[in-house]
Amino acid sequence: MHRLRPVDREFDIPKAYSSGPIGNLLRFHNLGAPLPKFSKAELLIGMCMDNRKHLRIPDNFAFILRAGGANLRYSEFKVSYAIAVGGVRAIALMGHTQCGMVNLMARRKAFVDGLVRRAGWDRDAAEQHFMHFAPMFEIGSETDFILSEAKRLRHRYPRVAVAPLMYKVEDNRLYHLGD
């Protein structure tokens, strides 16, 4: 996590994001800025589906897409919609520490056993399901994935600011991920 840059005061917000919705996200969540009223979203937040993350943001401030590992590769139409129709001008791509999509193959047994026990799946079907989808959703390192996904999104949407962020589950704070 050596690339995590804390945002503990106004000066810590990267200049590229300071005057826009990403700067506001960091102010609302980390700095406790007042939560004004918004009539429409300015930001798309792509974050993991993990239940341990809760953001302090105003109502109507952001569209939020949750996907395992903050992997938006399979949600690209929704990203495009938020930009084209929703009018967002920035994306906050937010990974988090202790992500379950890291080293996913090590969770194979728990995944298969859980589908058999909790969902009533046949063991062979659960195994096939895991082996078919796990390679698509494994992200490797949280930081490396968020940086590569931010780069991909910047290339795909060149007029949209994309900020790689990391949510530390240990302290419930957002960090800018140096890229």
Domain ranges, residue 119: 103-138
- Contact of 1 with 21, CB cutoff 8 Å: no
- Sequence-separated (6 or more) residues with CB below 8 Å from residue 89: 20, 21, 42, 43, 83, 160, 161
Q: Quickly tell me which residue has 């909790």 as its tokens.
A: 118
| Same domain membership, residue 45 and residue 84 | yes
Q: How many domains does the chain have?
A: 2
Same domain, 23 and 79: yes
Identify the CATH number of the domain in which residue 40 sits. Answer: 3.40.1050.10
Q: Render each residue's pLDDT in the chain as its tens digit; 179 residues.
A: 458 999 999 999 999 999 999 999 999 999 999 999 999 999 999 999 999 889 999 999 999 999 999 999 999 999 999 999 999 999 999 999 998 999 999 999 999 999 999 999 999 999 999 999 999 999 989 999 999 999 999 999 999 999 999 999 999 999 999 86
Task: Look at residues 156, 174, 152, 179 and name the one whose alpha carbon lies nearest to residue 16.
Answer: 179
3-state secondary structure (DSSP) of residue 51: coil
- H-only helix segments in the chain: 15-18, 21-31, 76-84, 108-119, 123-137, 142-156
Q: How far is CA 142 from the centre of its chain?
A: 10
- Same domain for 161 and 132, yes or no, is no
Count of C-beta atoms within a 10 Å radius of residue 52: 11
> Quick check: pTM over 0.75?
yes
